Amino acid sequence: MDFLTLFSIYVAVVLACIVLVCRYSGQQQTPLTLVFDSISKVAAPFTPQWLQRLTQWSLHRLFHQRNNMFIYLHILLEGAVYVEFTCEVFGFCREMDTTLISLSVPYVLLALKSSFFYLCIKRDPGTVTKKRVAGQLHVYPYDRRLFHPGVTCPTCQLIKPARSKHCRLCNRCVQRFDHHCVWVNNCIGAQNTRYFLLYLFSVCAMAGDIALLTGDMLLHAVLRSGLLSASFIDADGQQQPVGPLFIIQHLFLTFPRIVFMLGFLVFVFFLLAGYALFHSYLALVNQTSNEWYKSRGYTCQHCHPTSVVDHLCSPAPDQSRRFYYGRGLLRNLGEIFFPLRPVHKKDS
């Protein structure tokens, strides 16, 4: 059981790290930075100046600037899973007469996921520029609760369209800003939310399918070994039937890499499935992650230094609807997969 305990602790630590990275990436004050600052103060007298500067530069570049490190990490983890599946699980499944069609599904899903992943990385999320801003201002109305007319982005020096936000990592305002995803090194906005959703669901399907095939292989291995009807002598010299914990330990010792891969896939599946369901809910009600967070703790913007006072002080619209931009399930989904285009007014 010691090995199982250590493995559980390892999975918990990995989960916590991934959640912290996804939750706080791009923010200035995070639990990670607070812990690092505390450790730095204690270790500073014993650490060379060049090492301190290198560490600070590395952390700043990793969490507060755009970089491809998480893309490379994504590809590395994915490659490790597929190498293990191809080199070991595939062969065991063929011995159990699993059809080639079933075994080819993970590779088809990999191709689909890779295409959506590429589109998330390369597609412009809907950058607000001088040429586009005039049309983008008319795409969505201001709700005068989270988004107010006349507010200027202090960095871009452009009037902010409704539902837009300035991304510090990308240094640009993005139309219908959802969030900045470190795993694709790009913002998720009006023009690439559909690819992000398809990417999430394809990763979940890929992890789930490989996990099912791997779990089926391990189940057949247990059945063929006769462990279910076996017994062992305990420390007191008593004969005991083999239980689930004994079988799990046996699988760890017999197929350590395969069992580790299965645990990782199950973890990834449930983590991303919950995330995908959350974003599906947002798509159905036509709300972004940014709006979801702001609606739970938004602050009044009437005193914004770059606001137009007469616009901000005008009567607020009816807020009886919980989701201001919701237009019905089908139209909300249609807006995700067929984004609204900037309005170009014809000169009279």
Q: For residue 227, what are its two tokens?
A: 């462990």
Q: What's the pLDDT at 318?
A: 42
The DSSP bridge partners found for residue 321 are none
Q: At 307, is the pLDDT very low, low, confident or very high (cuts 50, 70, 90)?
A: very low
Task: Dig out the tokens for 132 from the structure.
Answer: 């586009």
User: Average pLDDT, stretch 291-320?
Assistant: 48
Position 33 confidence tier, pLDDT thresholds 50, 70, 90? low
- What mean pLDDT is predicted for residues 154-160? 94
- Residue 345 confidence (pLDDT) above 70: no
Q: Any catalytic annotation for residue 93?
A: no
Q: What percent of the chain has pLDDT over 90?
A: 50
Question: What pLDDT band is residue 159 in, cutting at 50, 70 and 90?
Answer: very high
Q: Which H or E run includes 181?
A: strand 179-181
pLDDT of 176 higher than 80: yes
Which position among 120, 156, 181, 204 bears the catalytic label? 181
Q: What are the residues facing 165 on neighbouring strands?
A: 174
- 249 against 127, higher pLDDT: 127
Averaging pLDDT over each range in 21-25, 234-238, 251-255, which range is the top one?
A: 251-255
Give the confidence band of 245 by pLDDT, cuts at 50, 70, 90: confident
Which of 49-63, 88-102, 108-122, 317-331 is predicted most confidently?
Answer: 108-122
Residues in the chain: 348
E strand residue ranges, the chain: 165-167, 172-174, 179-181, 186-188, 231-233, 239-241
The pair of structure tokens assigned to 107 is 């590779």
pLDDT at 299 > cutoff 50: no
pLDDT for res 226: 75
- The more confident residue out of 337 and 306 is 337
Average pLDDT, the chain: 81
- Gap between the Cα atoms of 180 and 189, Å rounded: 9
Please check the confidence at residue 43 and state whether its pLDDT lies above 80: no
Residue 196 tokens, joined = 């992000």
Separation CA 180–CA 182 (nearest Å): 6
User: Highest mean pLDDT: which of 137-146, 243-252, 309-318?
Assistant: 137-146
